[in-house]
Amino acid sequence: MIKGNAVVGQSGGPTSVINSSLAGVMSAVKNTANIETLYGMHFGIEGFMKEDLWDLSAQSDSVIDGLRQTPSSALGSSRHKVQESDFPRILEVFKKFNIRYFFLIGGNDTMDTIHRVEEYCSREGYELYGVGIPKTVDNDLYGTDHTPGFASAARYNALSVQQAGALARDMKKVDQFVVYQTIGRDAGWLAAATVLAKKQEDDAPHLIYCPERVFDADKFIEDAGKCIDKYGWVSVVVSEGLKYADGTPVSASQDADKFGNTEFGAMGGASVGLNVHKLLSNKLGLRGEFQITESLIMSAIDRAIPEDLQRAFDCGVKAVELAAAGTSAVMVTIEREEKEGKVSFQYGTAPLSSVAVRAKSMPEDYINEEGNFVTDKFLDYIKPLIPELPAFTRLEDKFA
């Protein structure tokens, strides 16, 4: 294998475990003979093209260990979509710093970047080994059972819905509903995971809506009304990517301006929760709350799952091992194995060409026929990823 230097970057939205993957790369490089210096892209591929690089090989072991418990993106992130005109400059920087090993931690757009850059270098006769490290709270990457960061974000959402549900249940004489919005433009994995908050029939959530299914406002009001009749309140979880049958985002405002044109929500995706709140208020004449966490779930190291942190680290280590062994144009994957009723996880690879710029939706049989909740098959999928949530105590039915 060729001797040279390596570079690693972080792209897209951060997670509570993305720095653990970075620590995995940094740790593995120390024990890799054919990699001399590891550079870090400061602010992703944009910083790389400006030669804004950090010498990660000079970092102490205490920094590497600390990164494993540090949220957000230590290197700084970027959402720059690589253009054809960028490739000559990228190759120029590779050559200047003798970089032969290329690692990026990110989602499907990030995998597309590695794929295209690696192909360009190959066409130009430059020997480069590019390996992707999966990351996204959305869990929408093809080729992997789940992505590092998803389980911790899912637990954050489930805990939030569980505790907000306890509050809403006890305040139902004041507020009759609560709407909780999750991240998820194209896939409903995070919304679906809030089902883990439910331990008894009347616990939150009562209704879960994912972008894989069309949102029917009339049916929703009917479903919510049934829950209110039965429990005295309703807990609703919605994904930010919900759309109506005609393709209109639920985030679009239902209010009209003075010209009769529909006004779109100024808060973008955050308007989904607001508009579902408006539907319940206007149609049922009830009072309620809405809760929108947005990027909070990406930086909650206090709610991170130890196994999630470890898998993120292992994915970073695996990427270096693969590249050092001559493997290129792949993404590290997490593979599920079930034996004798027990679930374990191993590491594998998927071609970057099959991962790049694609969103993995939830399977049809993970969502019920009504389109307003999840199935037992989804529970079988999610339970091995997230530890049991705490059990709260209720007063016993002992009346004076």
Annotated binding site for Mg(2+): 108
Q: Per the annotation, where are the binding residues? A: 13, 108, 136-138, 240
> What is the C-alpha to C-alpha distance for residues 90 and 139, in angstroms, rounded to an integer?
29
The answer to whether the CB of 188 falls within 8 A of the CB of 181 is: no
End-to-end CA distance of the chain: 80
Marked catalytic residue, from 86, 112, 138, 223: 138
Q: Could you give the 3-state DSSP secondary structure of residue 242?
A: coil
Q: Per the annotation, where are the binding residues for substrate? A: 136-138, 240
Residue at 236: amino acid letter: V
State CA 266 to chain mean position distance.
24
Listed residue (233, 143, 240, 153) closest to 193, CA to CA = 153
Identify whether 365 is a catalytic site residue.
no
Q: Per the annotation, where are the binding residues for diphosphate? A: 13
Length of the chain: 400
Strands annotated E in the chain: 4-10, 35-41, 53-55, 99-106, 129-134, 177-182, 207-209, 234-239, 252-256, 262-264, 288-292, 330-339, 342-351
Q: Quickly list DSSP for 41-71.
A: ETTHHHHHHTT-EEEGGGS-HHHHHHHTT--
User: Which residues are designated catalytic?
Assistant: 138
